[in-house]
Amino acid sequence: MSRIAQCFATLKQQQRGAFIPYVEAGDPDYATALAILKAMPTVGADLIEIGMPFSDPMADGPTVQMAANRALKAGATMKKTLQMVSDFRTENQHTPIILMGYVNPIEHYGYERFCQDAAQAGVDGLIIVDMPPEEMDNIQTYAKQNHIDIIHLVAPTTSPERLKMILKDASGFIYYVSIAGVTGTKTATYDDLKKAIPHLRAVSNLPIAIGFGLSTPEQTANAVKIADGAVVASALLKTLASTLDENNRPTQDTVSKVINHTKLLAQGTHSVVKQ
């Protein structure tokens, strides 16, 4: 059983939803991002998404874009992103790691070599935001060979026919983009989520995590009342950005404030006892 499947199975036994925080690789520098990554499981992160910095994102709102730009200016590369996962795995072998990013840098790296290196580093899942399902064959074989789940995004605008096509080869979990728009700009209502998630349950048995628009403990709690996990990115990156100095360098508060915020969001998520 993969680390992702094992994590969701354990949470189901515990009647809890998954809290999935996001950290941008190399933001604001490698050492700070690694310190945040290593500390997240200690305050309640069940799985962790790591953003692969990219200069031309399509789905990221301004907060994630600024995080990626800070990381790139600090020297972030794909190899350093994988190195960050390797360094994390020296201390943590059980928390699933999902890389989230765009196809251009992966294609440049080489699909086969990327999957081999990602698996060796300790990556469990991959979200390629701008790769349509029709082109997933470019990487699907190499991902399967290296036991990496390809996690698909679905949105409120996804038609029932396309939903079936997207999810037929999905693995790991389903990432439900709760809003029609970019990350961190607005929030879906509880009623919106209650209407949407049953449609996904009808076509897939995979766990469902809700992201794009969650920023408070109350919102993550509402998400796991309906789905199986809650993803938070922009809210944590805003906290990180608020601690930086005028040159976007970390201060003594950077790691502690991000981790304290992570803890509050995890507590909100885990406050829900699932039936």
Active-site positions read 49, 60
Return the sign of the alpha-carbon dihedral for residues 21, 22, 28, 29.
positive
Ranges of H-type helices in 40-170: 62-73, 78-89, 103-109, 111-121, 137-145, 160-167
Amino acid in position 216:
T
Cis upstream peptide for 198 (omega within 30°): no
**SS percent in the chain: helix, strand, coil, step 5:** 50, 15, 40
Q: CA 179 to CA 215: how far, in whole Å? A: 13
Question: Would strands 174-177 and 125-128 be described as parallel, antiparallel, or unpaired?
Answer: unpaired
Angle at 64 between CA 59 and CA 41, to 5 degrees: 110
Residue 128 burial (C-beta neighbours within 10 Å; 0-12, 13-18, 19+): buried
Residue identified by tokens 């969001």 is 265
Report which of 81, 129, 68 is spatially closest to residue 101, judged by C-alpha positions. Answer: 129
Q: Are 19 and 231 in contact (CB under 8 A)?
A: no
- Residue 145 main-chain phi, psi, to 5 deg: -60, -30
